[in-house]
Amino acid sequence: MTKQYWLVKSEPEAYAWTDLLREKQTAWTGVRNYQARIHLNSMKKGDQVFFYESVTTKAVVGIAEVTKTAFPDKTSDAPGWVAVEIKAVKPLPQAVTLARIKTESDLTGIALLRQSRLSVMPLNKDQFEKIVALGSP
């Protein structure tokens, strides 16, 4: 099966990258957007995931991995909402800011720029590798 690439967003005040590093893994719950739910349902074990801190940091700060595919989100009373489990893999040596991403012509088509409020979004391999390169010294 082909590995997929994703970006998940969180407000650091609600759940920060440092929280995931401390806890090692977490259920990615609380997503209440239909398009984001489709993306959660598409995630497979082993997929790579960027962790993006929104609002204040506005940067990709780390890499995580999907460890458990979609399951019912226990934080919702309504049926159909799902969560996935992710584990921390490693922080990026240098955070890749939204401002930096906007300057890269290879990244102009990513959902982060087109649908900025979407909390779970796909990336292709080239986009993922480009952001990894930007975050490396």
CATH number at residue 98: 3.10.590.10
Residue 131, domain member (yes or no): no
Residue 100 structural domain: 5-126
- 20-61 pLDDT per residue, tens: 999 999 999 999 999 999 999 999 999 999 999 999 999 999
Residue 135, domain member (yes or no): no
Residue type (1 letter), 26:
T
Residue 49, domain member (yes or no): yes
Residue 112, domain member (yes or no): yes
Give the Cα separation of 65 and 5 in Å (integer).
Answer: 9
Instruction: Quote the pLDDT of residue 55.
Output: 95
Residue 50, domain member (yes or no): yes
Residue 104, domain member (yes or no): yes
Residue 78, domain member (yes or no): yes
Domains in the chain, number: 1
Instruction: Quote the pLDDT of residue 40.
Output: 98
Q: Scanning the structure block, which residue is given the tokens 């990894």?
A: 132
CB 85 within 8 A of CB 72: no
Residue 27, domain member (yes or no): yes
Does this model's pTM top 0.85? My answer is yes
CB 106 within 8 A of CB 127: yes
